[in-house]
């Protein structure tokens, strides 16, 4: 029995000695691979590239020209493309009825004035007789009432005469501004209603370049933004312009927003209706007001207690730190962060529940990254291709 125990003791001692010798040389774990991307403010990303749209030259101000009274057109004095001056008569209605109405109103006014003069004379006589007590007070009151009635009738007739005179003038259609006739909407001999368009008038002076922008590009367009404009009819010329106006509501059919640009020096070569292209310069990030926002994948959000947080890769130590952030809104695929991040910092965008604070990591690109701007090497098998943007890396 003693001969059997001693070999076992020696074997156990040898094993303990080997374990003690190798215990101090345990190999350190390699840095873990994490899917991460640098973050950039939304303003910088939105204004990073120029946008291009087809354009058309349009007058800044234009209006349809119409008669204020109904009637039959007997004469049109201008045609489409003609230049007109303010006050110039461009069309004429048949004035016979208006002339008759004016004559009737003039006769009614003359009769009213005659009755007023008679009432005035009667009032003077009765007033003199009443002063000598030759007539009763009630008779004087009746005379005064007749005079007031005649005076009101005269005023009414005078007003009707003015209306009839204006109606006669309204049978002539005059230009309210200098401009160019852009459309003809009624023919000679046609009976038109009051307010029915007869001509279209484009005012002389400033012209605009208009484009219809998609709703997704509104964040990249701002008032005063510079743009370069080219026209198919003037292939060798480039004009400078600036955004003057952005309509607040979308077109009900196309769901686009009308944007108007003003040419700095249009010259005489730019004509109404010309078509071309406008390239809007990127909006500078510094021009945007308010705090910077970062749109990140929803998968990048972790929680520190009840507060949202994200994992940020320390650029000096390549280790992870949990950074509390302020969130303004949560979406189905993205989250908008308003505080806690800085431009250029590398943030873990996937697998946030599998890492821990202080962990040494190597940042790799997500699959199908289009930007190619990442910290660290691409993962094996990616073939060096880029990955999605920060806002879609976690989708």
The pLDDT of residue 241: 92
Does residue 240 have a pLDDT over 50? yes
For residues 317-338, give the mean pLDDT.
87
First-to-last C-alpha distance (Å) of the chain: 71
Measured between alpha carbons, how far is 74 from 67 in angstroms, rounded to an integer? 13
The pLDDT of residue 269: 86
The pLDDT of residue 152: 96
Measured between alpha carbons, how far is 362 from 261 in angstroms, rounded to an integer? 48
Mean pLDDT across the chain: 83
Sheet order of strands, 326-330 included = 294-297, 334-339, 326-330
pLDDT band at 25 (very low <50, low <70, confident <90, very high): low
The pLDDT of residue 386: 34
Residue 239 Cα distances to 105, 201, 252, 263, 266, angstroms: 59, 26, 31, 7, 7
The pLDDT of residue 107: 96
pLDDT band at 284 (very low <50, low <70, confident <90, very high): low
Question: What is the pTM (predicted TM-score) of this model?
Answer: 0.54
Q: Where are the beta strands (DSSP E) in 186-299?
A: 191-192, 197-203, 207-213, 226-231, 234-246, 257-263, 275-280, 294-297
Measured between alpha carbons, how far is 320 from 345 in angstroms, rounded to an integer? 12
**Mean pLDDT lowest for which of 11-25, 68-82, 127-141?**
11-25
The pLDDT of residue 9: 43
Does residue 322 have a pLDDT over 80? yes
Q: Higher model confidence: residue 89 or residue 336?
A: 89
Place of tokens 């489409």: 80
Q: Where are the beta strands (DSSP E) in 80-178?
A: 83-84, 89-93, 172-174
Measured between alpha carbons, how far is 191 from 93 in angstroms, rounded to an integer? 9
Measured between alpha carbons, how far is 31 from 318 in angstroms, rounded to an integer? 9
54 DSSP 8-state letter: E
310 DSSP 8-state letter: E
Please give the share of the chain, as a percent, with pLDDT higher than 70. 81
The pLDDT of residue 24: 52
Contact of 168 with 102, CB cutoff 8 Å: yes
Q: What are the structural domains, with CATH classification, of the chain?
A: 33-40+289-392 (2.40.420.20), 51-60+206-283 (2.40.30.170), 73-93+175-199 (no CATH), 96-170 (1.10.287)
Measured between alpha carbons, how far is 342 from 254 in angstroms, rounded to an integer? 38
For residues 212-216, give the mean pLDDT.
90
The pLDDT of residue 333: 82
Contact of 297 with 350, CB cutoff 8 Å: yes
Does residue 178 have a pLDDT over 70? yes
The pLDDT of residue 22: 52
Residue 173 Cα distances to 101, 166, 178, 238, angstroms: 19, 12, 14, 40
Residue 342 Cα distances to 174, 239, 293, 294, 312, angstroms: 63, 38, 10, 9, 10
């Amino acid at each position: 029995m003693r001969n059997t125990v001693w070999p076992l003791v020696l074997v156990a001692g040898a094993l303990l000695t080997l374990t003690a010798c190798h215990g101090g040389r345990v190999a350190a774990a390699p840095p873990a691979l994490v899917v991460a991307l640098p973050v950039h403010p939304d303003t910088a990303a939105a204004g990073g590239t120029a946008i291009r749209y087809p354009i058309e030259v349009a007058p800044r101000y234009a209006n349809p020209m119409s008669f204020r009274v109904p009637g039959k057109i007997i004469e049109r004095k201008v045609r489409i493309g003609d230049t007109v001056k303010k006050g110039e008569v461009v069309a004429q209605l048949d004035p016979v009825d208006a002339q008759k109405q004016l004559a009737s109103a003039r006769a009614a006014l003359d009769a009213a004035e005659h009755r007023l003069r008679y009432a005035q004379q009667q009032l003077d006589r009765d007033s003199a007789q009443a002063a000598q007590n030759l007539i009763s007070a009630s008779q004087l009151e009746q005379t005064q009432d007749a005079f007031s009635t005649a005076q009101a009738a005269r005023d009414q007739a005078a007003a009707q005469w003015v209306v009839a005179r204006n109606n006669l003038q309204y049978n002539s259609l005059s230009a309210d501004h200098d401009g160019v006739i852009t459309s003809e909407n009624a023919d000679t001999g046609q009976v038109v209603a009051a307010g029915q368009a007869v001509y279209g008038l484009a005012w002389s002076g400033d012209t605009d370049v208009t484009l219809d922008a998609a709703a997704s590009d509104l964040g990249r367009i701002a008032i005063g933004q510079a743009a370069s404009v080219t026209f198919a009819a003037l292939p060798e010329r480039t004009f400078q312009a600036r955004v003057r106006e952005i309509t607040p509501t979308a077109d009900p059919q196309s769901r686009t927003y009308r944007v108007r640009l003003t040419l700095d020096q249009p010259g005489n070569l730019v004509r109404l209706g010309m078509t071309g292209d406008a390239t809007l310069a990127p909006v500078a990030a510094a021009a945007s007001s308010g705090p910077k926002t970062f749109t990140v994948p929803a998968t990048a959000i972790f929680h520190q207690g009840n507060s949202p947080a994200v994992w940020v890769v320390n650029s000096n130590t390549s280790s992870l730190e949990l950074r509390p952030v302020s969130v303004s809104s949560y979406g189905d695929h993205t989250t908008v962060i308003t505080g806690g991040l800085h431009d250029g910092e590398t943030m873990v965008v996937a697998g946030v529940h599998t890492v821990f604070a202080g962990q040494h990591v190597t940042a790799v690109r997500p699959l199908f990254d289009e930007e190619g701007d990442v910290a660290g090497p691409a993962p094996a098998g990616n073939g060096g291709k880029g990955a999605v943007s920060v806002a879609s890396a976690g989708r």
